[in-house]
A and B are shown apart, each in its own frame.
Chain A
Amino acid sequence: MSKTIKINKGLDIKLFGESQKIITSVDSKKYALKPTDFNAVFPKLLVKEGDEVKAGTKVFFDKYRNNIVFTSPVSGKITEIVRGPKRVLQEIRIDSHPEISYIDFGVGNPNDLKREEIIKKLLESGVWPMIRQRPYSIIADPDDKPKAIFISAFDSAPLAPDYDLIVHGKGDVFQTGLDALIKLTNGKVHLNLNKSNIVSKVFSKSKGVQINYFEGPHPTGNVSTQINKIDPINKGDVIWYVNPQDILTIGRLFLEGKYNASKILALTGSEVKNPKYFKTTSCCCISELVKNNVKEGNLRYISGNVLSGTQIKSDGYVGFYDSQITVIPEGDYYEFFGWAFPGLHKFSFYRSFISWMTPKKKYRLDTNIHGGERAFVMTGQFEKVFPLDIYPMQLIKAIMVEDIDQMENLGIFEVDEEDFALCEYISTSKIEIQSIVRQGLELMRKEMS
């Protein structure tokens, strides 16, 4: 039985630079694992510069949870270990071999394996970090028994990659990945699809899972929104969630017996000359993708989407969880009386700008903040783009004053920073909400452990 859940609150920001549905193969030589991609992981290195690794060789592990290891996506040589301020480990760079050689983890049908065997295989191959949990959006704890597993099979963020295209023709692999996940929980595995888009048969014919349909603007595709509407998180509950593309990797682990991190990435954004999809491998350097393919000017490269992605350099590396690269212009210019003009060509959530007359228009948005940070003044705005049954502003204020009880009461266990990205986008007071929420989640995690 599948049901449709309609969501009204939210906002679709229409941008130029959607990827054409063409997939090109690209050979990247440079890769990097970035420990900063993983919330609450304290990395301990297992390799040093100059070491040779295979795809699946352990590179580092988490000091606090020794069994969670991170492995190389390709075979090659560790060229550089980059540390930031206070010697924080930032990147482990790997130059790949022309032919990738893999560590053999052994093939196996998840249906014939026990839960413990599946977990062991996922852990030792370094695929486990793909499974994350709410609350706190950290890597799942293998000792937990989640009450459900959620898979959002569509991304509703601006210029988001089309997962239908990414999984196309990979039904067996996807189903194998799902079979493994099904074994991990006693509850349901929810596969959430987009009602208003073409849904790939790979998704709609999936077996052993609960299929739900969702309809509405961003953040409908966010897993928190879906959890809140289907099976909300209460104190003490744990829900796991996985990206569709990562389920393919899990499937390949069981079918091929190796950590095959190949991935399809969408190159998007108004400043990309030819936005399209690239077949490459997880954690690759973007320089091959953007070479001769971006416009002139001062540009911002983002691993992920414009709302919750991470800024990287033009020769930076794609994040572990990201399937999208966005390139937009920087906004480092002064605008004479910029706040005063009618604003026909300025996109806004608000009708204070007369661009409300052209709702279907697409925009080329830059990174200018368009104003200074102010105290909270306006009310009732965040609620319009926040579909969860939570009071967003009150929760943000509770986090700012570090009121643990109130944070818990107001639902911090149910959210992730990405859920507040639209609130941050529309904030009249220009408050950095996502980093406030991340601080709150970290504080809560430390208090609860």
Chain B
Amino acid sequence: MKNLRNLIDKIKPNFEKGGKLHMFYSTFEAFESFLFVSNEVTSKGSHIRDNIDMKRTMSVVVIALVPALLFGMWNVGYQHFLSLGEEVTILIAFWYGFLKVLPLIIVSYVVGLGIEFAFAQIRGHAVNEGFLVSGILIPMIVPPDIPLWMLAVATAFAVVIGKEVFGGTGMNILNPALTARAFLFFAYPQDMSGGKVWISEKLDAYSGETPLGDALVGNFDNLPSTLQMFIGDIPGSVGETSVIAIILGAFILLFTGVGSWRIMLSVVIGGLFMGFLFNLVAVNEYMRLPAWEHLMLGGFAFGAVFMATDPVTASQTTKGKYIYGFLIGLIAVLIRVVNPAYPEGMMLAILLMNVFAPLIDFYIIDANVKRRKKRATIIINQSNIINQK
């Protein structure tokens, strides 16, 4: 530890201003602060500071994603061997999935962090940790067999167009991971939908539809059991199939307070509300689907827990979070059931509400402003009355 510190102190001058490697300062700083929390002390304002920092916060989210990720790796293998009709042990299935998913994670991190480091250096600020989360979210919401170049293009698009052009971390309007997903969905639709892509290297004869794909075309008999959807041993994107693994992650986010319970709760309520509304109308099979089953289908749970709660792109006011979440749930189910073109509505619902979140906040804050102005005018009126007397 001490030797490592000495080594860092020795090479540090090369990266500082005037050093030969100054162009890599942000990269150096990112790695240094990863290894050692800085020795910087407070110089103004509060003399003591909380132990929390962005690394800690982001690593909590990454930890919360681990159950869904591990399950996803196993499921990739399980679905593959299932489609071949082979029975294998959990470990073999996991190993197959691990080898499939690991390259996705590496590509996403290398491309994304590379761009982040470059922008941090150009802009002259420290590397923000936000991409640690985006970089793992992206592989979890794509089909397992996605070509790596496609993933790389989508990641680059998400980081540059989704984030950096708006000013970088904290300024982006759209969730970067979902921006990547949406880019793939619209740029390469044949690789992102249909019955072929959800199972890794499957036999052509085997039906590989996701439950949502079946539901869209009215194959409700093909839907897996509720228990299956809850556990998640069904075809789908890498990390989103297992509701139980996602709930485990949700518990971590809620307990540590990193994820907003207001958003998660209101997304669920919004989805249930729309589901019940359809149940009441019930003019076709899809509308008759029990409202609570919508929560288990597709990316609803994953979106509610990990995507809608992104603090940068969500509504920032307390009241706004309820409205924002409710509308995400509502629109997601609406798109699923009513729009025949898209089997899954969660991605589009969240992206749409990302765009509207600032508007929601505007009205919530405006109410506070109006309250303050009203308070002032009441007092002015009172004093006028007193003066008139």
Residues of chain A whose beta carbon lies under 8 Å from any beta carbon of chain B: 13, 232, 234-237, 300, 302, 306-309, 311, 326, 328, 330-340, 343, 346-353, 365-380, 383, 389-391, 393-394, 409-411, 417, 421, 424-430, 432-435
Contact = CB atoms under 8 A, between A and B. Distances in A.
A137 to B, nearest CB: 15
A409 B373 CA distance: 8
Contacts of A311: 47
Given A366-B48, A380-B318, A352 B37 contact: no
B196 to A, nearest CB: 38
A234 B37 contact: no
Contact of A374 (B4, B129, B256): B129
A339 B59 contact: yes
A411 B316 CA distance: 18
B126 interface: yes
A352 B56 contact: yes
Given A300-B47, A336-B1, A421-B45, A372 B321 contact: no
A380 B260 contact: yes
Given A380-B316, A380-B321, A434 B44 contact: yes
B39 A328 contact: no
Contacts of A232: 375
Contact of B130 (A306, A372, A377): A377
A235 B317 contact: no
A432 B302 CA distance: 35
Interface in B94-129: 126, 128-129
Contacts of A375: 128, 168-171
B265 to A, nearest CB: 14
Contacts of B70: none
Contact of A377 (B38, B41, B54, B321): B54
Contact of A334 (B5, B48, B50, B54): B5
Contact of A330 (B41, B361, B376): B41
B29, B39, B126, B372: which has the most chain A beta carbons within 10 Å? Answer: B372
Nearest to A432: B45
A336 B47 contact: no
Contacts of A332: 39-41
Nearest to B30: A372
A340 B39 contact: no
B52 interface: yes
Interface residues of B, number: 59
A309 B45 contact: no
B35 interface: yes
Contact of A410 (B51, B255, B369): B369
B131 to A, nearest CB: 12
Contact of A368 (B41, B45, B56, B373): B41
Given A352-B60, A379-B311, A421-B45, A371 B53 contact: yes
A106 to B, nearest CB: 37
Contacts of A236: 376
Which 5 pairs between the two chains have the least Cβ-Cβ distance? Answer: A371-B53, A375-B170, A338-B37, A234-B376, A434-B45
13 contacts: A234-B379, A306-B47, A306-B48, A366-B48, A371-B56, A375-B128, A376-B170, A378-B311, A380-B311, A391-B368, A409-B369, A409-B373, A428-B53
A300 B55 CA distance: 27
A369 B37 CA distance: 9
Contact of A426 (B52, B129, B311): B52
Given A370-B50, A377-B169, A433 B37 contact: no
A232 B36 CA distance: 46
Contacts of A432: 44-45
Given A351-B257, A373-B126, A393-B316, A426 B50 contact: yes
A391 B53 contact: no
A365 B45 contact: no
A369 B45 contact: no
A409 B36 contact: no
Interface string B121-156: 000001011100000000000000000000000000
B58 to A, nearest CB: 9
A241 B340 CA distance: 66
A42 to B, nearest CB: 21
Interface string B39-76: 11110111111111111110110000000000000000
Contact of A372 (B33, B52, B60): B33
Contacts of B247: none
Which has the most chain B C-beta neighbours within 10 Å: A326, A346, A391, A433?
A: A391
